[in-house]
Structure 1
Amino acid sequence: MSSTPESKPSAMHTDNKKVPLPTSMPDSISLDKWADTGYEWSGEVEPSAFKRLALILATEHEQEKIQLSASLYRRNNVLHLAFTLTGQVWLTCQRCLQPVSIDLSDDFNIALLEKEGQVRLVNEEQDYLLLDEIITEQSPEKLLPFKKLVEDEILLKTPMSPKHDDCEMTVEQFGEIPEEEETENPFAALASLKGKL
């Protein structure tokens, strides 16, 4: 963590005020405390730590930890949550039912808008969310659901029906496949009459 204000999402600077990093990924970030000064967290996360993701993980393959580096910063008077994921998860192939690796590595940057009027301050291609829509928990301090937002992006990156690129589903055949008898086309007789009438 750092209390240094950030101007670039990729920069991870620290100043003389060193704050110990929490060893596990925080569920939420206090916006009352960090929105103006900036916040950073990096570490490894078990895929099973995300409850919704855990439901679709393949149990036949050992999951590796995902590397995560995140930064909360303010630029042009707009709050941003930027994070980088590095790693993969194993899901179940919907064809052969064997584990398939899904790469999650990517950079994400979400503008967190305090009011709708701030939309004009972000680029057209920039992803944004309204803070009032994502902070639903009533508490004395304003808590950004950090873990949930990261999990949302992971779930958007995972395919709904994961499959191996070169998957050939094994099909067991029981008995012989009967040969289809050639039947006469009922319209063949009409076609022959067409020229005669």
Structure 2
Amino acid sequence: MQRQPLPKQLDARKLCVSAAEISAIVSVSELPRFASGLASDVGEVLADIQLYRDEQGFYRIDGKASAAVNVSCERCLQPMPIEVVAEFALAIVWTEEQAKALPKSLDPVILGEELLELDELLQDELIVSTPFVNYHDKSDCKTAAPVDYPAPEGAGSEEKGDSPFSVLGSLKPRD
């Protein structure tokens, strides 16, 4: 299937009834909430989404999105490439009560009667799938500070009297 631009809004329930498939490509720069957590907005997101009605009657949105993006290394703060992969299994519901009644394997999308904002849904799934903390391999990290901080010279060889807390012993009343 050839990739098309990501539709902004769609009538998800109608597409579920007709069992639609969407194979889309979108620039990371067009997904501002997702891009704000990255080192740059360079890259593309590839998304494959199926909308259908399952055997239990749920309106379903299943999909997978992947993006090769740059995030900041927490050690050296330089950009580093990672691949973010988001896989999701969602059910469209009208109310909070319906959302609570869903099986644990499905996450709810509460739509009411409005159209589905597909770019917002995709951003949510990508943000949740992006690692919170990222590090280069120690050999690739460009930090100027040492990665493993060595113990200070003489550490562990302090005498009992040299303890910074030894003065507290003199404050203790003697019996």
Inter-partner Cα distance in structure 2 for 1:51 and 1:23: 20
2:119 to 147, 150, 161: 147
Cα distance change of structure 1 residues 49 and 100 upon mapping to structure 2, 3 Å threshold: same
Corresponding residue for 2:157? none
- After the TM superposition, which residues 1-197 of structure 1 pair with which residues of structure 2 at under 5 Å, given as runs? 23-31=4-12, 33-59=14-40, 63-75=42-54, 76-119=56-99, 122-132=102-112, 142-164=114-136, 166=138, 169-171=143-145, 182=162, 185-189=166-170, 197=175
For the residues of structure 1 that align with 2:4 and 2:117, how far apart are their CA atoms? 18
Count matched residues.
159
Change in CA separation of 1:39 and 1:96 when aligned onto 2, cut-off 3 Å: same
Unaligned runs of 5+ in 1: 2-20, 136-141
Structure 1: 4+ residue segments shifted above 6 A: none
Is the 2:16–2:59 Cα contact (8 Å) retained in structure 1? yes
Partners of 2:37 and 2:51 lie apart in 1 by 29
Structure 1 letter corresponding to 2:111 = L
Q: Which amino acid aligns with 1:158?
A: T
1:159–1:22 CA distance, 2 compared to 1 (3 A): closer
Contiguous gaps of at least 5 residues in structure 2 = 147-151, 155-161
Secondary structure at the counterpart of residue 48 of structure 1: helix
Identity of aligned residues (%): 25
Aligned equivalents of 2:171, 2:117: Cα separation in 1: 71
Matched with 1:17 is: none
Which residue identity does 1:71 align to in structure 2? Q
Contact 1:78–1:121, Cα closer than 8 Å, also in 2: no
The one-letter code matched in structure 1 to 2:145 is V
How far 1:111 moved relative to its partner?
A: 0.9
- The letter for the 2-side match of 1:127 is D
Q: Hey, which of these two has a bigger chunk of strand by percent? A: 2
| TM-score after normalising by structure 1 | 0.64
Question: Residues of 1 paired with 2:171 and 2:142: CA distance?
Answer: 44
Change (3 A) 1:128 1:183: closer
Cα RMSD (Å): 3.5
The structure-2 alpha-carbon separation of the partners of 1:183 and 1:37, relative to structure 1 and needing over 3 Å to count, comes to closer
Higher mean alpha-carbon deviation, 88-97 vs 143-152, is at 88-97
| SS in structure 2 at match of 1:95 | coil
Q: What TM-score, normalized to structure 2?
A: 0.70
Aligned to 1:5: none
